[in-house]
Amino acid sequence: MLGCVSRRILVIGGTRFMGRFLVARCLARGDRVTLFHRGTRPNPFGARVEQLIGDRTSPDFERALSGRTFDAVVDMVGYQGADVERAIDVFAGRVGHYLFVSTGQVYLVRENAPMPSREEDYGGPLMARPQGDDAAQWDYGVGKRACEDALIAARDRLPSTRLRIPMVNGPGDEQQRIARYVRRMLDGGPLRVAFADRRVRHVDAQEVARTIDLLLGDARVLGEAVNQAQDETPTLRELLGLIGHEIGAQPEIVDDESVGTEASPFSTRWMSFLDPAKLRALGVGHAPLSTTIARTVGHVLATL
Ligand SMILES: NC(=O)c1ccc[n+]([C@@H]2O[C@H](COP(=O)([O-])OP(=O)(O)OC[C@H]3O[C@@H](n4cnc5c(N)ncnc54)[C@H](OP(=O)(O)O)[C@@H]3O)[C@@H](O)[C@H]2O)c1
């Protein structure tokens, strides 16, 4: 660990959901933080961070970052192998630890993906690219795998860690997943959901930020992939009941196989279910699900 020493940290991204929580934590502990992002929204940290504006998929990246050194780089927005290959070329020999935010979808695009998925389940044949709406989901998982594979191939040039996470909940979720259920409950209407009795295991945005903060500079995870997820595995029906309880509602849940993710964001088959045992063995836990629900629902109600 880098301990209490102030770290020089670059966050690629960092201005929206999980990245914002991460940057706030790093600043609180006295790190010197640089953000690289396109600037589509104002940087919420003002002069407390160094801000570099550019697109990571373009030569902006080399222009802004060639020759720079950092104790750690957190890559919040790599989606294609080329994104990470470009970063490897810029940072090899200049960065102590590169932490890549990946996804549990790297397991879902595998043929017969085991559930729960453990880190060693990454290897093996991939499913064929599906047709229709599923194609974009497959592309996402395969793109993230290409990013991870680039880091694995470059492990002698750039010390890195791949953090795999499932669906993320928390205040400020841009996809408004829990917010949509809460609004429907407040309307008093029934919740139409598919897969109501399937077990789900998500992750809390602030726990992801805390995990990244803890892992930066940790020699035990160099060259490794690690899963993070909450401990609880409620069914979707139970999870919606807990959310309802938080606002004093008892939602009527209608199991409807045909419902889409617009009506029920957790009713997708593209939802990974990760085993976080490896991270737990490293001493990194996760706040209780009740904390995630209280944080998230409280924020939804405050911003209705
Ligand atoms: N949300 C989930 O449920 C979930 C689940 C699993 C994995 N993930 C992973 O989590 C990561 C995203 O997390 P987040 O939204 O919380 O991150 P974030 O760092 O809070 O927000 C995304 C950041 O990336 C910047 N950005 C986007 N495209 C860029 C580009 N081409 N060049 C430079 N900067 C760019 C955005 O700012 P500008 O717009 O100003 O550029 C913003 O700062 C992704 O890697 C995703 O795969 C998310």
Q: What is the rounded distance in angstroms from the CA atom of residue 19 to the CA atom of residue 15?
A: 6
User: What angle do the packed helices 134-153 and 81-91 form, to 10 degrees?
Assistant: 20
Condensed to tens digits (0 to 9), the pLDDT of residues 24-33 reads 999 999 999 9
- Measured in Å, how far apart are the chain's first and last C-alpha atoms? 41
The CA distance from 131 to 246, in Å, is 39
State how far the Cα of 229 lies from the Cα of 15, in Å rounded to an integer. 22
User: Which residue type occupies 294?
Assistant: A
Average pLDDT of the residues of the chain: 96
Place of tokens 């407390």: 48
Separation between Cα atoms, residue 92 and residue 98, nearest integer Å: 10
> pTM higher than 0.95, yes or no?
yes
* CB-count burial class (<10 Å; 0-12, 13-18, 19+) for 40: exposed
Q: From CA 144, how far away is CA 131, in angstroms rounded? A: 19
Does the beta carbon of 141 sit less than 6 angstroms from any atom of ligand 1? Answer: no
Supply 304's token pair: 């209705």
Tokens of 33: 């933080």
Q: Please, are residues 39 and 53 in contact by the beta-carbon 8 Å criterion?
A: yes
Q: How far is the CA of 187 from the centre of ligand 1 (A)?
A: 31
Where does the pLDDT of residue 5 fall: very low under 50, low under 70, confident under 90, or very high at 90 and above? confident
- Taking the C-alpha atoms of residue 88 and residue 186, their distance in angstroms, rounded to an integer, is 48
Determine if ligand 1 sits within 6 Å of the CB of residue 76. yes
For 201-231, write each residue's pLDDT tens digit.
999 999 999 999 999 999 999 999 999 999 9
Residue ranges of E strands in the chain: 8-12, 32-37, 50-53, 70-75, 95-101, 160-164, 168-169, 191-193, 203-204, 225-227, 253-255
> Which position has the token pair 């409280």?
298
Averaged over 250-272, what is the pLDDT? 94
Instruction: Judge whether residue 244 has pLDDT over 70.
Output: yes
Q: Cα(228) to centroid of ligand 1, in Å?
A: 17
pLDDT at position 303 is 95
Average the pLDDT over each of 132-136, 142-146, 225-229 and give the range with the smallest value. 132-136
pLDDT of residue 4: 64
Q: Which atom of ligand 1 is nearest to the CA of 40?
A: 40
Tokens 């407040």 -> residue:
186
Distance CA 47, CA 24 (A): 13
Q: Is the CB of 131 under 6 A from ligand 1?
A: no
Q: Would you state the pLDDT for residue 133?
A: 87
Q: Which of 10, 16, 56 to mutate to test the pocket of ligand 1 (most atoms within 8 A of CB)?
A: 16
Closest by CA position to 162, among listed 230, 75, 266, 72: 75
Spell out the domains of the chain, with CATH numbers in brackets: 8-302 (3.40.50.720)
Phi, psi of 119 (to 5 degrees): -55, -35
218, 280 contact by CB (below 8 A):
no
Q: Is the pLDDT of residue 1 over 70?
A: no
Mean pLDDT of 104-121: 97
SS3 183: helix
